[in-house]
């Protein structure tokens, strides 16, 4: 399928499979995939390791903001990096997941990540996933998808994914984490998670990845005549 030069923005709730979907889209249409959540996770790891966020999630915003000036956070061969250190495994841990949504409420952090995303996404033919891509980062994206699914289905998928990587998980802990993140993400002041007016909703509770690909091919064909 010959897809034109467009930006595809995928937003939605935690663990709805946005990144797996985006990766397959990128592969099939020869697009560049950009995972905005990985940058929020990277800033969170950096904040934990440098003491900018406490046990009770109090954040030293001025100190964090200052330190971000020199934070070399970027994508590389194996995923997300700080300088030449690959942080891909650490940023997927529950320790980071439990602090990422508080960190993502900080306006200074959002400005830092937005700057990077716009820089990485200067060209078209990108698919980016997150919470505010279609509303804030790329409000002019030609195709916006808003993903949702039943919370228990999402928790099961995420727990299976973590177990496949060898991490011990408790389904209830995973469910609690994703519901807490959804709440914080939807209620924060700066760029909350909301469906863009022109986004198409995809509830994939009962869909396979093949179903999802059929779904998007049909939409692209209808919308862009290809």
Q: How far apart are CA 98 and CA 103, in angstroms?
A: 10
Closer to ligand CDP at the Cβ: 90 or 132? 132
121 binding ligand CDP? (CB under 6 A): no
134 binding ligand CDP? (CB under 6 A): no
Written as six digits, the tokens of 78 are 């194996």
Applying CB under 6 A, the span of 26-34, 131-139, 159-167, 207-215 interacting with ligand CDP comes to: 131-139
Least distance in Å: CB of 22 to ligand CDP?
Answer: 10
Among 7, 8, 10, 14, binds ligand CDP (CB under 6 A): 14
Written as six digits, the tokens of 113 are 């990540």
Site for ligand CDP in 164-183 (CB under 6 A): 181
- Residue given tokens 């802990």 in the structure block: 173
Site string for ligand CDP, 72-111 (x = CB under 6 A): ----------------------------xx--x-------
Closer to ligand CDP at the Cβ: 89 or 218? 89
Helix, strand, coil in percent for the chain, rounding step 5 = 50, 15, 35
Site for ligand CDP in 35-54 (CB under 6 A): 36-37, 40-41
Least distance in Å: CB of 35 to ligand CDP?
Answer: 7
Please say whether the beta carbons of 223 and 144 come within 8 A: no
Q: How far apart are CA 56 and CA 166, in angstroms?
A: 28
Q: How far apart are CA 116 and CA 11, in angstroms?
A: 18
* Residues that contact ligand CDP, how many (by CB under 6 A): 17
Among 42, 106, 121, 131, binds ligand CDP (CB under 6 A): 131
Number of residues in the chain = 226
Which parts of the chain fold into alpha helices (H)?
18-29, 36-49, 61-68, 88-91, 94-104, 107-120, 151-164, 171-187, 209-224
Q: List residues near ligand CDP by CB under 6 A.
A: 14-15, 18-19, 36-37, 40-41, 100-101, 104, 130-133, 181, 185
């Amino acid at each position: 399928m010959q897809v034109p030069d467009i930006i595809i923005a995928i937003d939605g709730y935690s663990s709805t499979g946005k990144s797996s979907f985006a990766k397959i889209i990128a592969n099939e249409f020869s697009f560049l995939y950009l995972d905005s959540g990985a940058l929020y996770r990277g800033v969170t790891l950096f904040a934990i390791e440098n003491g900018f966020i406490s046990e009770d999630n109090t954040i030293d915003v001025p100190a964090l903001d200052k330190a971000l000036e020199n934070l070399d956070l970027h994508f590389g061969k194996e995923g997300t990096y700080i300088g030449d250190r690959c942080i891909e495994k650490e940023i997927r841990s529950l320790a980071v997941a439990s602090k990422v949504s508080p960190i993502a409420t900080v306006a200074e952090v959002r400005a830092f990540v937005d700057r990077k995303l716009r820089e990485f996404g200067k060209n078209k033919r990108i698919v980016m996933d997150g919470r505010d891509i279609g509303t804030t980062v790329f409000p002019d994206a030609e195709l916006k998808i808003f993903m949702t699914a039943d919370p228990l289905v999402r928790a099961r998928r995420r727990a299976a994914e973590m177990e496949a990587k060898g991490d011990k998980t408790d389904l209830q802990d995973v469910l609690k984490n994703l519901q807490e993140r959804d709440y914080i993400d939807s209620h924060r002041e700066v760029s909350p998670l909301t469906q863009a007016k022109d986004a198409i909703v995809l509830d994939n509770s009962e869909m396979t990845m093949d179903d999802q690909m059929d779904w998007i091919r049909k939409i692209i064909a209808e919308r862009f005549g290809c």
